[in-house]
Chain A
Amino acid sequence: MKLIYEKSVKGRVGYSLAKDNFGEIRLEECIPSYALSKEKKALPEVSEVDVVRHFTALAKMNYGIDTGFYPLGSCTMKYNPKINERLASLDRFVYAHPLSDERNVQGSLEIMYDLEQLLKEITGMDRLTLSPAAGAHGELTGTLIMRKYFEDLGRPRHKMIIPDSAHGTNPASSAMAGFNIVEVKSNENGTVDIEDLRRLMDEDTAGMMLTNPNTAGIFEENVVEIARIIHEKGGLLYYDGANLNALLGIVRPGDAGFDIVHLNLHKTFSTPHGAGGPGVGAVGVKKHLEEFLPGPLVGKCSNNLLKKSVDHKGLEPTPEKRDSQKNESAEKEHDSQNSKYAFEYPTKSIGRVRAFYGNFSVLVKAYAWILSIGREQAREVAEMSIINANYVMARLKKYYRPAYDRFCMHECVLTGRDYKGYGIKTLDIAKRLMDYGFHPPTIYFPHFEPYAQETIMIEPTESESKETLDEFIEAMIKIAEEAKKNPGLLKDAPHATAVRRCNEAKAALEPILKYTK
């Protein structure tokens, strides 16, 4: 399709501005010549209708959860309720300036405070930060907290244990937080090899990052023992919440020995993925780690006493000043009768991980979802996501050998390895699914020899009905037949999409990263 630049016509206008009443002020008087550009920047010139049609055409070339089944394993592509979008776009939220006086944003602060309380109960943790913008951002926050905790004890630690089945973000985040990575193997059941872990854990190891259920969709049944091994050596256990959907209302990470968790509000808590973000990677910790959280957090002040607040004027503390300010202000009276919520800054904080406080509009959507699900249905979410995944596995395992032939949690890992003999790769199976109108599952992840190869990771989520799953299953069975009888159909797939298989090698060898005409 044409780029917006290729639709540009000199002199065409897509905007309107109010009459300029500042004619007497010349730009040259405002901006020094060393900085003022002599030419306008070469952006496209198109009309409003051009822009609308351009994006409508682009939308048709995209596939979202509203288009159809999107069973990407580890991504939790569940339905994104429309009312949540509406609530996040309420005027008083949308136009709230982040540096406004706290008295003027009590509604926004209340949402953040309440959401934190709900997430505390759901995870079994004592305090959460809502600042991190994504799962990986949460991981960085969490691992920095681990680092700081040991530094504060006066005994810095340098290693982090990560299972071979972990998402790439785990080792990447740990490395960003300055840790050396130690990989622990998976055993024949798809779970952490406990003996290997026992051998690896030592007093220079900060702890372990564990996804549970793990990326093979299997519950780490030795979680209590894992926590014991880590804690015995003074380490901390980190919960990667990418797969929390399976445990909602069934297990709270805080009760299972985890010291830190990150949650992907754009997964379990239904906020849309937005073609790759924004999400929220909220991080929860147990009591002993609270003071290391990034600031600010939202606190509640009862009886007009702003407990633990920094300063009644809302000053942002410098790192050095935090400690003293906190003590001083502990009993300070707030200057407004109306203020109930206020920002507060942990004393030994790792520091900010971003500007301002978090992806607020995403927080509203997650909050709305939890209130809609309520105590009655929280567990139902997990149950149905698990039943859906096991149903798909049960019906497809004859055709696509599972990586591990046992019950799974919210996602199942099948493989395409039995079709190699027909010259078919898992990639071909995935591309063929597009012709049947489905988004393919996650492929080639997890990958660890010898169990998980040519993997197809399917996460249906609780949003999908049995009918949708049956249609998907029928398509997968049909593709299995095609692979044997007419493999060319798969290799040439997809046939019915906006573009067909793309030459990724060409893109990398002869990079074109912007329009140059």
Chain B
Amino acid sequence: MEYKIIEGLYYTKGDEWIKIEGDTGMVGITDYAQDKLGDVVYVEEALVGKKIKKDEAALTVESVKAASDINAPVSGEITGVNKGAVSDSTLLNKDPYGKGWLFKIKIDNPDELKELMDAKAYSEYRKE
């Protein structure tokens, strides 16, 4: 099965993506992750203002038979959450790279981005 992967984003091994806009990143889960989870039935609301380290859990999403921590791809402060996805968790399945985004983070150290994968590397990583 082919999973959608978007050019220009950074990817984590835990199947999160981050899109850079200035000093802020927008974070969500990949198409692969939403497929593995199955129907997402709950999105926890991340705490705006919370300082968080790279790979630390920002929030949890739940499907019928799984729960998954969504980790911060980089260290920083959470500056925004997608209330649309909190109230309608199906957005994560329908549009994981768009309306299903999860939170925004003000990036502490842009160097941490270098440790993430680009679209090509992620595509290799998730090749089945």
Chain A residues at the B interface, C-beta cutoff of 8 Å:
444, 504-505, 508-509
Interface string of B33-69 (1 = CB under 8 A from A): 0000011011000000000000000000011110000
* In the complex, chain A residues whose CB is within 8 Å of the CB of B89: 509
8 Å CB contact of A504 from B42, B64, B90: B64
Question: Closest approach, in angstroms, between the C-beta of B102 and any C-beta of chain A?
Answer: 18
Task: Tell me which residues across on chain A come within 8 A of B63, comparing CB atoms.
Answer: 505
Measured between beta carbons, the chain A residues less than 8 angstroms from B90 are: 509
- Minimum CB distance partner of B89 in chain A: A509
Chain B hits for A508, CB < 8 A: 39, 41-42, 62, 64
Q: Chain B contacts of A505 at CB under 8 A?
A: 38-39, 41, 63-64
The number of residue pairs between A and B whose CB atoms lie closer than 8 Å in the complex comes to 18
Chain A to chain B contacts (Cβ below 8 Å), 16 pairs: A444-B65, A504-B39, A504-B64, A504-B65, A505-B38, A505-B39, A505-B41, A505-B64, A508-B39, A508-B41, A508-B42, A508-B62, A508-B64, A509-B39, A509-B41, A509-B89
Q: Across the interface, which residues of A come within 8 angstroms of B62, CB to CB?
A: 508
Using A504-B65, A505-B63 as known contacts, list a sample of 16 further A-B pairs with CB atoms less than 8 Å apart, ordered by residue number in A: A444-B65, A504-B39, A504-B64, A505-B38, A505-B39, A505-B41, A505-B64, A508-B39, A508-B41, A508-B42, A508-B62, A508-B64, A509-B39, A509-B41, A509-B89, A509-B90
State the interface size on chain B (CB cutoff 8 A). 10
The residues of B that contact A444 with a CB separation of less than 8 Å are: 65
CA distance A508 to B39 in the complex (A): 10
State the majority secondary structure of interface residues on A.
helix
With both chains docked as a complex, state the minimum distance between the C-beta of B93 and any C-beta of chain A, in angstroms: 9
* Cα distance A444–B41 in the bound complex, in angstroms: 20
Q: How far is the CA of A509 from the CA of B89 in the complex (A)?
A: 8
Minimum CB distance partner of A423 in chain B: B1
CA distance A509 to B38 in the complex (A): 13
A509 to chain B: closest residue by CB: B41
Q: Which residue of B lies closest to A511 (CB)?
A: B41
- Complex CA distance for A505 and B63, rounded to whole angstroms: 8
Identify which of residues 14-40 in chain B touch chain A, using a CB-to-CB cut-off of 8 Å: 38-39
Q: B94 to nearest A CB, angstroms?
A: 13
Q: How far is the CA of A509 from the CA of B92 in the complex (A)?
A: 13
> How far is it, in angstroms, between the C-alpha of A273 and the C-alpha of B65 when the chains are bound?
23
CB A504 to nearest CB in B, in angstroms, measures 4
The distance in angstroms between the C-alpha atoms of A504 and B62, with both chains bound, is: 12
Docked complex Cα distance between A505 and B34 (Å): 14
Interface residues of B in 85-108 (CB under 8 A from A): 89-90
Which residues of chain A have C-beta atoms less than 8 A from B41's C-beta?
A: 505, 508-509
User: In the complex, A423→B45 CA distance in Å?
Assistant: 35
Give Cα distance in the complex from A504 to B39, angstroms: 9
- A504: B residues at CB distance < 8 A: 39, 64-65
List CB contacts (< 8 Å) of B105-128 with chain A: none
Determine the residue in chain A with the shortest Cβ distance to B90.
A509
Q: How far is the CA of A466 from the CA of B68 in the complex (A)?
A: 42
A509 cross-chain contacts in B, Cβ below 8 A: 39, 41, 89-90
Tell me the bound Cα distance from A508 to B41 in angstroms: 6
In the complex, what's the smallest C-beta–C-beta distance from A363 to chain B, in angstroms? Answer: 34
Question: How far apart sit A318 and B2, CA to CA, in the bound complex (Å)?
Answer: 65
Residue of A nearest to B39 (CB): A505
**C-alpha gap A505/B39 in the complex (Å):** 6
B93 closest partner in A (C-beta): A505
The chain A residue sitting closest to B41, CB to CB, is: A508
Instruction: Give chain A residues whose Cβ lies under 8 Å from the Cβ of B65.
Output: 444, 504
CA distance A508 to B64 in the complex (A): 7
What's the nearest-Cβ distance from chain A to residue B81, in Å?
19
* Shortest Cβ-Cβ A-B pairs, 6 listed: A508-B41, A505-B39, A504-B64, A509-B41, A505-B64, A508-B64
- Shortest distance from the beta carbon of B35 to any chain A beta carbon, whole Å: 13
Q: How far is the CB of B64 from chain A (nearest CB, A)?
A: 4
Residue in chain A with minimal CB distance to B128: A420
Question: B62: nearest residue on chain A (CB-CB)?
Answer: A508
Query: A440 → chain B, closest Cβ, in Å?
Result: 15
Chain B minimum-CB-distance residue to A427 = B65
Task: State the CA gap A444–B38 with chains docked (Å).
Answer: 15
The smallest beta-carbon distance between A420 and chain B, in angstroms, is 10
Complex CA gap A504/B41 in Å reads: 9
A505 to B94, CA, bound (A): 14
Q: How far is the CA of A350 from the CA of B39 in the complex (A)?
A: 42
In this complex, what residue of A is CB-closest to B40? A505
Nearest Cβ on chain B to A491's Cβ, whole angstroms? 15
Q: How far is the CB of B2 from chain A (nearest CB, A)?
A: 15
Chain A residues lying within 8 Å of B39, measured Cβ to Cβ, are: 504-505, 508-509
The CA of A509 and the CA of B94, in the complex, are separated in Å by 15
Chain B: minimal CB distance from A503 (Å)? 9
Chain A's nearest CB lies how many Å from the CB of B36?
A: 12
Give min CB distance, B70 to chain A, whole Å: 18
Q: CB-nearest residue of chain B relative to A508?
A: B41
- Specify the chain B residue showing the minimal Cβ separation from A510: B41
Cα(A509)–Cα(B64), bound, Å: 9
Give the chain A neighbours of B42 by CB distance below 8 A.
508
In whole angstroms, what is the CA distance A508 to B90 when docked? Answer: 11
Which residue of B has the minimal Cβ distance to A504?
A: B64
From residue A16, how far is it (CB to closest CB) to chain B in Å? 45
**Whole-angstrom CA separation of A481 from B28 in the bound complex:** 41
The distance from the CB of A517 to the nearest CB of chain B, in whole angstroms, is 25
A508 to B40, CA, bound (A): 9
Q: In the bound complex, what is the Cα–Cα distance between A504 and B64 (angstroms)?
A: 6
**Complex Cα gap A111–B45 (Å):** 53
Nearest Cβ on chain B to A455's Cβ, whole angstroms: 14
